[in-house]
Amino acid sequence: TAQAETLEFQSEARQLLQLMIHSVYSNKDTFLRELISNASDALDKLRLEAFRDKDLQADTDDLKITLEVDKAARTLTVRDNGIGMDRDEVVGLIGTIAKSGTAEFLQKLKQAKDGAGTQDLIGQFGIGFYSSFMVADKVTLVTRRAGRDEGVRWESAGESTYTIEAAPDAPQGTSVTLHLKPADVEDGLPDYTEAATLRTIVKRYSDFITWPVQLAPEGDKAEGDKADGDPETINSRKALWARPQSEVTDEEYAEFYKHIAHDWTDPLETIRLQAEGTFEYQALLFIPARAPMDLFMRERKRGVQLYVKRVFIMDDCEALMPEYLRFVKGVVDAQDLSLNVSREILQNDRHIQMMRRRLVRKVLSTVKSMMTEKPEQYATFWREFGRAVKEGLLDDFDNRETILGIASFDSTHDAEKQTTLEDYVARMPEGQEHIYYLTGESRATIENSPHLEAFRAKGYEVLVLTDPIDEMWVDSVPGFNGKQFQSVAKGQVDLDTDEEKAEAKERAKDFASMLEWMTSSLESDVKQVRLSSRLTTSPACLVGDENDLTPTMEKMYRAMGQ
């Protein structure tokens, strides 16, 4: 048979391992949550694959997660009989980090030298399997993919290399054996070979896992005894979304969120929804406290899982959440769908579309009440996800008004604080008919724009829009509360009273020949030279035509080579 091969970790993986070994993360117990979470995913995948592929030679009886300890050897093993991995998967999934945004994450981590900053970042990233190295100085993983004859054995001390070799007798699924560091209770490292410790941790972090998590009885290895006694199931296995809300603690919801979102921080908001009637479903959704690093990368997945009658069906169910709410995480459990549903079927299913509409409205209304009841939390939400939510103004016509209602914008009213459109409208002085805005690259360039002068002089507030997406939606959204959006940099802006207009006409006569001369001299660069009431201190400014591209848009198109 093949010999053990020594391979190198990818460099990003190596850096993350170093972080784990030198354990910047204070709560080391969470390694167990990560391993149980992976085991649970592996069992979900096996059940699904066996269901889809009737020819798969897989054992699907008695699916479970087992914790085994060996006090003498000081090892803890987390075992599952799930889908397992083949050799390429072990190398690809365990030896490298495929998550998008890893490089960026490591860069930020380098910059944040202080302890608190790094903890925060790690919480944002989530390290999964590698967290084993917080508590172990060597990790052995043995795995066999369901349907394959031969398994793989992987081992590493978390330094720069690992070994990999064939494991002919490996049972189906995966076992991860941790060779534990010496317990050091003072340093926050309890003895993970103690049954009581494991029970507490599982209760705390993994109680809702729908598969049984069992504690194997420990035999007296020294005397060669077989372990006696029955394994003890230590999680309650209750699906959180199916339990009455009053019975579930905030901490339980938070742990569940961390499990499905692969996040290490508590969610910003938990949303529950129970629909009864002809199409029954339950939803448990979460708004994270922080935007993931890849929120704006292409191919970014959506975060809602679909279950059918408690059976996991798929991750990233795009039929349930529109793209602009891709940061929402959670579970939807439908009672009356076939276990066999495919993504294509879901996209076109009338019930699913109804469900999606309802879920979207629920998320938006949750944000709306956050706005009034928990303004600080809302501010966090908008800072993290506002840019994504604004995409909905282009995609989700039905909810446009609602989205505008939960949006906040910089404005000339207050340099520090953003404003809602409702507040803007409430401040509009007598005579102001439109909601004025100016788009640009930054607040500073906008503030210095001569376009603003006349508005300032009039005491009209102007929205300061600096996100690229703002350029797009302002053109397609007709208005808010019956008030039109009007760029202060485009077309004729009518700020004058009738009297002022008459005066301007007179003035125009006086200047007619000069304007004509200027227009013809500047012919190749401008369409027309006009007298303007826009300016109070600057002598002249460039104005776009009603239907022209804005300078930023022009730049964007040029950059795209058009």
The one-letter amino acid at 315: D
157 Cβ contact list (under 8 Å, min separation 6): 137, 138
Q: How far is the CB of 141 from Mg ion (least distance, A)?
A: 13
395 Cβ contact list (under 8 Å, min separation 6): 322, 323, 324
Which of ligand ADP, Mg ion, none has residue 362 at its interface (CB below 5 to 8 Å by kind)? Answer: none
User: With respect to Mg ion, which residue has the nearer C-beta, 128 or 151?
Assistant: 128
- In degrees, to the nearest 5, what angle opens at C-alpha 32 toward C-alphas 27 and 38? 125
E strand segments, 219-343: 232-233, 269-275, 281-287, 303-308, 311-314, 329-334
Q: How far is the CB of 192 from ligand ADP (least distance, A)?
A: 18
Which of Mg ion, ligand ADP, none has residue 82 at its interface (CB below 5 to 8 Å by kind)? Answer: ligand ADP
Candidates 384, 178, 368; CA nearest to 265 is: 384
User: With respect to ligand ADP, which residue has the nearer C-beta, 80 or 333?
Assistant: 80
Strands 483-487 vs 479-480: parallel, antiparallel or unpaired? antiparallel
- Residue 152, classified by CB atoms within 10 Å of its CB into exposed (0-12), middle (13-18) or buried (19+), is buried
Q: How far is the CB of 71 from Mg ion (least distance, A)?
A: 27
262 binds ligand ADP (CB under 6 A): yes
Position closest to ligand ADP via CB = 128
Contact (Cβ atoms closer than 8 angstroms) between residue 495 and residue 458: yes
- Residue 163, classified by CB atoms within 10 Å of its CB into exposed (0-12), middle (13-18) or buried (19+), is middle
Q: How far is the CB of 127 from Mg ion (least distance, A)?
A: 9
Q: How far is the CB of 56 from ligand ADP (least distance, A)?
A: 15
Which of Mg ion, ligand ADP, none has residue 461 at its interface (CB below 5 to 8 Å by kind)? Answer: none
Residues of span 17-56 touching Mg ion by CB under 5 A: 38
Residues of span 100-159 touching ligand ADP by CB under 6 A: 128-129
User: With respect to Mg ion, which residue has the nearer C-beta, 38 or 177?
Assistant: 38
Q: What whole-number distance in Å separates Cα of residue 135 and Cα of residue 153?
A: 20
* Mask for 110-129, x = binds Mg ion (CB under 5 A): ------------------x-
Which of Mg ion, ligand ADP, none has residue 93 at its interface (CB below 5 to 8 Å by kind)? Answer: ligand ADP
Q: How far is the CB of 41 from Mg ion (least distance, A)?
A: 7
The token pair at 4 is 């053990």
Query: Applying CB under 6 A, which part among 32-40, 156-164, 332-340, 352-360 lies near ligand ADP?
Result: 32-40
Q: At what angle do helices 375-395 and 468-476 cross, to 10 degrees?
A: 60
Q: How far is the CB of 93 from ligand ADP (least distance, A)?
A: 4
160 Cβ contact list (under 8 Å, min separation 6): 8, 9, 14
Query: Is 34 assigned to a binding site?
Result: yes
38 binds ligand ADP (CB under 6 A): yes
19 binds ligand ADP (CB under 6 A): no
Element (H, E) at 106: helix 102-111
Q: How far is the CB of 176 from ligand ADP (least distance, A)?
A: 7
β-pair partners for 215: 67, 232
How far is residue 530 from each of residues 333, 350, 523, measured CA to CA in Å? 63, 56, 13
Which of Mg ion, ligand ADP, none has residue 85 at its interface (CB below 5 to 8 Å by kind)? Answer: ligand ADP
Query: Applying CB under 6 A, which part among 5-13, 79-87, 268-276, 344-352 lies near ligand ADP?
Result: 79-87
Residues in touch with Mg ion (CB under 5 A)? 38, 128
Q: Which residues bind ligand ADP (CB under 6 A)?
A: 34, 38-39, 42, 80, 82-85, 93-94, 128-129, 174, 262
Residue numbers in the known binding site are 34, 38, 80, 85, 99-101, 124-129, 174, 343
Known binding site for ATP: residues?
34, 38, 80, 85, 99-101, 124-129, 174, 343
